[in-house]
Structure 1
Amino acid sequence: MTAPAIFDRAARRQRRDRAQAGYAEHDFLRAAMLDGILERLDAVRRAFGEVLDLGCFDGAFALPDARIARVDPGFRFALAAGGVQGDEDRLPFADASFDLVVSAGVLDQVDDLPGALTLIRRVLRPDGLFLGAFVGAGSLSTMRAAWRSAESAQPAARFHPQVDVRAAGDLLVRAGFALPVADVEPLPVRYGSMGRLIDDLRGIAAGNLLAARTPITRATLGAAARAFAAAADPDGRIAERFNVIYLTGWAPDASQPKPARRGSATASLAAALRPDG
């Protein structure tokens, strides 16, 4: 079954090409994601020789002594990073090609996220590691509320669907990963205006990429900006938040620890909780 077209692939490529030149001025969100990925990678006591940076942007992810293949949906990002252009749910690699796949800031813009995760698992060698990060449910709540206020009479689709952390964990299981872990970390930010926030989103090609976009009138944009500004703290800054979901999963391998067989416990929970007599 073909996944429904949620996003406009052509617009996504064009927006990424447009964002590439000025990306360094707006990269704080992905930089935070990469920090989180590297923190998780530091806890893994093994070397990775063949690595895939999926959704590479400027190629900022680095790993000493590793050979890193880079892929980005945008031609200019891919070219500047020495990689190839490609979509996350249409990977141009053979199965079992990599020891490690990292992906920061792109999986929330994929039509077929379950399919993309399955492909990631397939391009990993047995006992290979996947570390991903993307914007999840509950993000941009202040901006969302401002748009709801501005378009209360006739709401329009302005924001991408968001995956929550529980669903993200379920998707890892569905894709066939072993030892799956999904967790969420909030990234609070403060803005002086909604326009500045929109500039940052456009600067990382994270604006509205929905296939069913509708134009925004000046009146609606003005109303949303005023509603956003009304949420300002006494210092005039508006609190906003990105909830970053981190994914960790391993390609299955016989060497990995297995969950205990059901019914194999030698002590009951009731006994463990019973107070000493």
Structure 2
Amino acid sequence: MNEDTAPPSIFSAARRSAVYRRAVSRQAANPEAARFLFEEVGEDVAERLAFMQRNPQRALVIGDAGGVIAGRLRAPGREITTRGPHDLDEERPFDAGQFDLIVNIGTLASVNDLPGALIHYRTALASGGLFMASLIGAGSLPMLRSAMLAADADRPAPRIHPMIDTGVASALLARAAFARHVIDSHTLKVGYRSLDRLIADMRDHGMGSTMRQATPPLSRQALTRLQQAFPAGNPTYETFELITLTGWKD
């Protein structure tokens, strides 16, 4: 691939790895670490497999920093491989036909070549294999976005990742040549009494800046505006939109 056709390099592989490693460390060190998104995805995956009456023998789980999804998938005779951005390059080809099921939570949101990564995942599936990915969608974090804009005032910086919506997700799976695909989404609303608690929950889930170009730190005045825009005390309800991509390979 030459420079003219290469996808734009928005995200940093090193920062993706660092953010994921931090989440793994936080999950291991603190039994009270937030894992509600992992639990939501784990329950959803288990329900979908039961509904489709599928019993995959070889599963690959990516981005499960808390080990919740792998735990829900364990079954007699089932081989589960877990990976994260620190030991899996999603933009390079995989061996063909390795897995009956691939589950990804979150990491595809910070891949530079997302169409290429989806093609590699389809290649890694055996015939009849199933791919499921959960992403934080474009409807997420409206309160934090608003607070960040207020903090930066007239000089806004790109402090929150670009996110995809259901229409884009559907087009991406079609482009990756999955035989059939389904896209759906739902939202979770979580109450926070402080901005610090929200940021901690995001870090527990591996949600941090992985953009290649680091944004400038907030000034003292900007930090004050941020706290004012996200007041402590009464709960402020933040929204997490979970977009689920499901695709089958012939």
Verify same fold: TM over 0.5: yes
After TM superposition, give the deviation of residue 105 of structure 1 in Å: 2.2
Counterpart of 1:249, as a letter, is: G
Select the residue among 212, 221, 224 that pairs with 1:222. 224
Deviates more, 1:137-146 or 1:61-70: 61-70
**C-alpha deviations, 1:215-252, integer Å up to 9, x for none?**
222321221121122xx8xx700011000001111012
Q: Are residues 1:178 and 2:179 paired?
A: yes
After TM superposition, give the deviation of residue 17 of structure 1 in Å: 2.0
After TM superposition, give the deviation of residue 208 of structure 1 in Å: 1.5
Q: Where in structure 2 are the equivalents of 1:56-95 lying within 5 Å? A: 56-60=64-68, 61=70, 62-64=73-75, 65-74=77-86, 85-90=87-92, 93-95=94-96
Q: Where in structure 2 are the equivalents of 1:255-266 lying within 5 Å? A: none
Indicate conservation of the 8 Å contact 1:135/1:245, yes or no. Answer: yes
After TM superposition, give the deviation of residue 203 of structure 1 in Å: 2.2
Q: Which runs of 5+ in 1 are unaligned?
A: 75-84, 253-277
Rg larger for: 1
Counterpart of 2:18, as a letter, is: Q
Structure 1 vs Structure 2 CA RMSD: 1.6
Hey, what's the Cα distance between the residues in 1 that align with 2:34 and 2:221? Answer: 27
Give the structure 2 partner of residue 250 of structure 1. 248
After TM superposition, give the deviation of residue 72 of structure 1 in Å: 0.8
Number of residue-to-residue matches in the alignment: 237
Identity of aligned residues (%): 37
Residue 2 of structure 1 aligns to a residue whose secondary structure is: coil
After TM superposition, give the deviation of residue 6 of structure 1 in Å: 1.0
Q: Where in structure 2 are the equivalents of 1:5-44 lying within 5 Å? A: 5-23=9-27, 25-44=33-52
Hey, what's the Cα distance between the residues in 1 that align with 2:148 and 2:66? Answer: 31
Counterpart of 2:119, as a letter, is: T
**C-alpha deviations, 1:119-148, integer Å up to 9, x for none?**
111100111111111100110001101111
Hey, what's the Cα distance between the residues in 1 that align with 2:152 and 2:98? Answer: 48
Q: Which runs of 5+ in 2 are unaligned?
A: none
Hey, what's the Cα distance between the residues in 2 that align with 1:196 and 1:59? Answer: 22
Hey, what's the Cα distance between the residues in 2 that align with 1:195 and 1:89? Answer: 33
Indicate conservation of the 8 Å contact 1:33/1:133, yes or no. Answer: yes
Hey, what's the Cα distance between the residues in 1 that align with 2:12 and 2:145? Answer: 21
Hey, what's the Cα distance between the residues in 1 that align with 2:194 and 2:162? Answer: 24
Select the residue among 27, 36, 56 that pairs with 1:48. 56
Q: Where in structure 2 are the equivalents of 1:101-180 lying within 5 Å? A: 101-180=102-181
Hey, what's the Cα distance between the residues in 1 that align with 2:54 and 2:81? Answer: 19
Hey, what's the Cα distance between the residues in 2 that align with 1:224 and 1:3? Answer: 33
Hey, what's the Cα distance between the residues in 2 that align with 1:47 and 1:19? Answer: 29
**C-alpha deviations, 1:138-163, integer Å up to 9, x for none?**
10001101111121310100010110
Hey, what's the Cα distance between the residues in 2 that align with 1:90 and 1:226? Answer: 44
**C-alpha deviations, 1:160-218, integer Å up to 9, x for none?**
01100111011110101122100001011110011111111122221121112222223
Indicate conservation of the 8 Å contact 1:33/1:105, yes or no. Answer: no
Hey, what's the Cα distance between the residues in 1 that align with 2:245 and 2:139? Answer: 17
- Greater RCO, CA 8 A, separation 6+: 2
Give the structure 1 partner of residue 205 of structure 2. 204
Counterpart of 2:58, as a letter, is: E
Select the residue among 224, 229, 234 that pairs with 1:236. 234
TM-score normalised by structure 1 residue count: 0.81
Hey, what's the Cα distance between the residues in 2 that align with 1:29 and 1:22? Answer: 15
Give the structure 2 partner of residue 263 of structure 1. none
* Alpha carbons of structure 1 residues 246 and 16: separation in structure 2 relative to 1, 3 Å: same
Counterpart of 1:241, as a letter, is: T
Hey, what's the Cα distance between the residues in 1 that align with 2:177 and 2:139? Answer: 27
